[in-house]
């Protein structure tokens, strides 16, 4: 028995499903999850000391590659000075200033410890600020696991085929209107019927929890116009895309300015940091200035903030994102070429350091199209690549990530493995 299997069996005794976050369990692809012992640059090593080229990157945070020496040293230095104070620190001001200076839509920002907390609070804030209850979200977009957002969400829910979580009361989701991504007419219709009751529209402006789906031309612009017209807030959930697709997230790429933005993943550099920020008048409605309550014992934790700040500083190097996208494109174009050479219907897309792989003939633009992908073939591809030492996300509905440490040799090694794998899948 492999050590991974021994550990998994043991984990299942005391941890539900053996994991602390569902997709890690390999349920949708089958097989034994790899227990990771260490990581460096583009690589992770499992409990059997097998090395993998990693395209999960801790689900997004590891944009510099794992264990970047500057980030690790900064974390060590911070830890020596104490792990948590429950009182404000100068580093929190610094990271807030960095976020506000890089994202033009953010005037004020509050730190939390996860993406879930950020989106949950942004929704509460939108409701408190507007005095309205209803929210619009899109099918296949995942915004963390707060009750009102766990309706037809992506990521793990999509992977396991549950439209909505058990344990979420009907009353909680009655105020959540779920529409189709890229269907602006449906949004217009919803506002025409209940615009006075809609507090906000929340969206992954490039969706990364139903594989990768880009917004159609005019879609984000249309959402902006409708929200402005009806006095609703537009929330960009950039937990995944923030500082990942470009220096200003999707708001920078699209030129569309949200009222609120949620962040996590990259801004923690591998440590638990989330944030929500936006218009000062809206943010001032949060306690202690306003009546919308939010708090956190470990919010702005000094060690976590140190990791985030060190990461954000390194991302500011000129040409960082151009290089990242170039590497992602070498990967997606190389994979597409090799799949087609083996006559396998496949396509791929990338933006910044984020990519999507689809076992479809055309790049999907909607939830329906992405759901039609050949998940059986994905499973075979996933396991065959894993056997070749390439670690992709264990689900057909998750975006992948390259880091700055994925150099040409790493991409080439991946493509060589894919050539062998696609030939077998044929
Ligand atoms: C990961 C993710 C979340 C949830 O963040 P957690 O830190 O896992 O709670 C929310 N929204 C999006 C878009 C995400 O990708």
- Spans of all domains in the chain: 20-67+318-425, 82-315
What is the pLDDT, as a whole number, of residue 148? 86
Residue 142 annotated to the active site: yes
Is 20-67+318-425 assigned to CATH 3.30.70.330? no
> Closest ligand 1 atom to the C-alpha of 209?
15
The reply to whether ligand 1 has any atom less than 6 angstroms from the CB of 116 is yes
The reply to whether ligand 1 has any atom less than 6 angstroms from the CB of 204 is yes
| Under-50 pLDDT residues of the chain | none
User: Scanning the structure block, which residue is given the tokens 């996208």?
Assistant: 325
Residue 237 annotated to the active site: yes
Cα–Cα distance, 352 to 41 (Å, whole number): 18
Helix 408-425 vs helix 320-341: crossing angle, to nearest 10: 20
User: Which residue is catalytic, options 54, 237, 259, 349?
Assistant: 237
What is the pLDDT, as a whole number, of residue 159? 66
Residue 344 Cα to ligand 1 midpoint, Å, equals 32
Helix 375-387 vs helix 408-425: crossing angle, to nearest 10: 130
What is the pLDDT, as a whole number, of residue 255? 97
What is the pLDDT, as a whole number, of residue 161? 61
> Is the link from the previous residue into 288 a cis peptide, with omega within 30 of 0?
yes
What is the pLDDT, as a whole number, of residue 74? 98
Quick one: CATH architecture of 82-315? 3-Layer(aba) Sandwich (3.40)
Global model pTM greater than 0.85: yes
Buried b vs exposed e over 294-320: b needs ≥16 C-beta within 10 Å? bebebbbbbbbbbbbbbbbbbbeeeeb
What is the pLDDT, as a whole number, of residue 269? 97
């Amino acid at each position: 028995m492999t050590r991974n299997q021994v550990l998994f069996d043991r984990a299942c005794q005391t941890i539900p499903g053996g994991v602390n976050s569902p997709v890690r369990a390999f349920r949708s692809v089958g097989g034994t999850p790899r227990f990771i012992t260490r990581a460096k640059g583009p690589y992770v090593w499992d409990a059997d000391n097998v090395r993998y080229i990693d395209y999960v990157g801790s689900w997004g945070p590891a944009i510099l590659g794992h264990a970047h020496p500057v980030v690790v040293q900064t974390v060590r230095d911070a830890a020596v000075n104490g792990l948590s104070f429950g009182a404000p620190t100068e580093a929190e001001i610094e990271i807030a200033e960095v976020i506000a200076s890089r994202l033009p839509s953010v005037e004020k920002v509050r730190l939390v410890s996860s993406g879930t907390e950020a989106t949950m609070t942004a929704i509460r804030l939108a409701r408190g600020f507007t005095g309205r209850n209803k929210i619009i979200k899109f099918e296949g977009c995942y915004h963390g696991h707060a009750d009102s957002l766990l309706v037809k969400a992506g990521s793990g829910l999509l992977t396991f085929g549950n439209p909505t979580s058990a344990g979420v009361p009907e009353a909680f989701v009655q105020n959540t209107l779920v529409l189709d991504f890229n269907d602006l007419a449906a949004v217009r219709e919803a506002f025409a019927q209940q615009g006075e009751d809609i507090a906000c529209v929340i969206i992954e402006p490039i969706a990364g929890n139903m594989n990768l789906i880009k917004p159609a031309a005019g879609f984000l612009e249309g959402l902006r116009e409708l929200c402005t017209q009806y006095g609703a807030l537009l929330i960009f959930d950039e937990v995944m895309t923030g500082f990942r697709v470009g220096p200003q997230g999707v708001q920078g790429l699209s030129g569309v300015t949200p009222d609120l933005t949620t962040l996590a993943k990259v801004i923690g550099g591998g440590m638990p940091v989330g944030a929500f920020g936006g218009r000062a008048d809206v943010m001032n409605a949060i306690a202690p200035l306003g009546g919308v309550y939010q708090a956190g014992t470990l919010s702005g934790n000094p060690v976590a903030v140190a990791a985030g700040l060190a990461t954000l500083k390194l991302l500011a190097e000129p040409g960082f994102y151009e290089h990242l996208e170039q590497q992602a494109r070498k990967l997606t174009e190389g994979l597409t070429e090799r799949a087609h050479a083996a006559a396998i219907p496949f396509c791929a897309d990338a933006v910044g350091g984020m990519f999507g792989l689809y076992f479809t003939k055309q790049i999907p633009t909607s939830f329906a199209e992405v759901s039609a992908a050949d998940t059986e073939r994905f499973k075979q591809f996933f396991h065959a690549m894993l056997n070749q030492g390439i670690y992709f996300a264990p689900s057909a509905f998750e975006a992948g990530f390259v880091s700055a440490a994925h150099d040409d040799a790493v991409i080439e090694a991946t493509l060589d493995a894919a050539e062998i794998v696609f030939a077998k899948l044929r």
